[in-house]
Amino acid sequence: MLDVLIIGGGPQALTLATLLAHPDVHSPRPSTDILDGIQLSQSRSKSGRLRSKRRPPAGEVAEEEASPDPAPSPRLHFRVVDSYGEWAMLWESQFSALNIPHLRSHTLVHTDPLNKKALQDFIVSHERTAELHALPEHICILDENAYFNDNRLGKRNKRRLSTSAGLRRSLYFSLPGTQTSVDFFQDQVHRYGLDSVLIRGTVDRIVPVMAACSTVPEEPGKHKEVLFFRVLLQGGESIEARRVVMATGPTRAQMVNIPAWVATITETYPEDRLQHSVQLMHQQAHSWRHEAETLQQEARTQQQDSRPNSPAPPPVCHPGERLMVIGGGLTSAHIISIALQQGASHVTWVMRKHLQLKQFDVGDVESLIGRYSHVEHGIQMDGLAYLRQFYSERSLPRRLAMIRQARKGGAVTPEAYTQLLPYIQNGRLTVKPYCQVSEAKWCYRNQSWDISMSCEEHWTGHRIWLATGCKLDVNQDPLLADIIKEFPIQVLDGWPCVSENLQWAPGCPIYLMGQYSALQIGPHAVNLAGGQASSMRIAKDILSQHRGVREGHRTLAGDGAERTRTEEYIQHMHGLMWL
What mean pLDDT do residues 552-563 have?
53
Q: How far is CA 312 from CA 95, 272, 285, in A?
A: 11, 19, 12
Look at residue 45 and tell me whether its pLDDT is greater than 60.
Answer: no
User: Strands 375-376 and 379-380, how do they pair?
Assistant: antiparallel
Note the pLDDT of residue 368.
42
pLDDT tens sequence across 469-497: 888 788 888 899 999 999 999 999 889 99
Q: What is the mean pLDDT of the chain?
A: 78
Report the range of poorest mean pLDDT among 39-43, 84-88, 373-377, 543-547.
Answer: 39-43
Task: State the sign of the Cα–Cα–Cα–Cα dihedral 568, 569, 572, 575.
Answer: negative
Rounded to a whole number of angstroms, the distance between the first and last alpha carbons of the chain is 41
CA 265 remoteness from chain centre? 33
Across 181-253, the runs of DSSP E, i.e. the strands, are 198-200, 203-210, 226-233, 238-246
Question: How confident is residue 408, by pLDDT bands cut at 50, 70 and 90?
Answer: confident
Q: How far is CA 428 from CA 323, 353, 431, in A?
A: 10, 21, 10
Look at residue 111 and tell me whether its pLDDT is greater than 50.
Answer: yes
Report the range of poorest mean pLDDT among 69-73, 159-163, 225-229, 518-522.
Answer: 159-163
pLDDT tens sequence across 270-322: 999 999 988 887 666 556 555 555 555 555 555 555 555 555 567 889 999 99
Question: How confident is residue 181, by pLDDT bands cut at 50, 70 and 90?
Answer: very high
Distance from C-alpha of 504 to C-alpha of 516, rounded to nearest angstrom: 10
Cβ–Cβ under 8 Å, residues 465 and 324: yes
Distance from C-alpha of 531 to C-alpha of 517, rounded to nearest angstrom: 10
Q: How far is CA 292 from CA 79, 303, 450, 536, in A?
A: 22, 14, 41, 33
Cβ–Cβ under 8 Å, residues 145 and 193: no
Distance from C-alpha of 490 to C-alpha of 497, rounded to nearest angstrom: 6
SS3 of residue 34 by DSSP? coil
pLDDT tens sequence across 120-142: 999 999 999 999 887 666 555 44
CA 65 remoteness from chain centre? 35
Distance from C-alpha of 518 to C-alpha of 345, rounded to nearest angstrom: 41
CATH of domain 257-363+408-466: 3.50.50.60
pLDDT tens sequence across 324-354: 999 998 899 999 999 999 999 999 999 998 8
Give the whole-number percent of the chain exceeding pLDDT 90: 44
User: Strands 274-276 and 463-466, how do they pair?
Assistant: parallel
Q: How far is CA 48 from CA 43, 69, 115, 384, in A?
A: 9, 39, 32, 22
Largest CA distance in the chain: 79
Identify which has the larger pLDDT, 32 or 514. Answer: 514
Question: How confident is residue 510, by pLDDT bands cut at 50, 70 and 90?
Answer: very high
Q: Which of 506, 498, 483 is nearest to 514 (CA)?
A: 498
Cβ–Cβ under 8 Å, residues 555 and 42: no
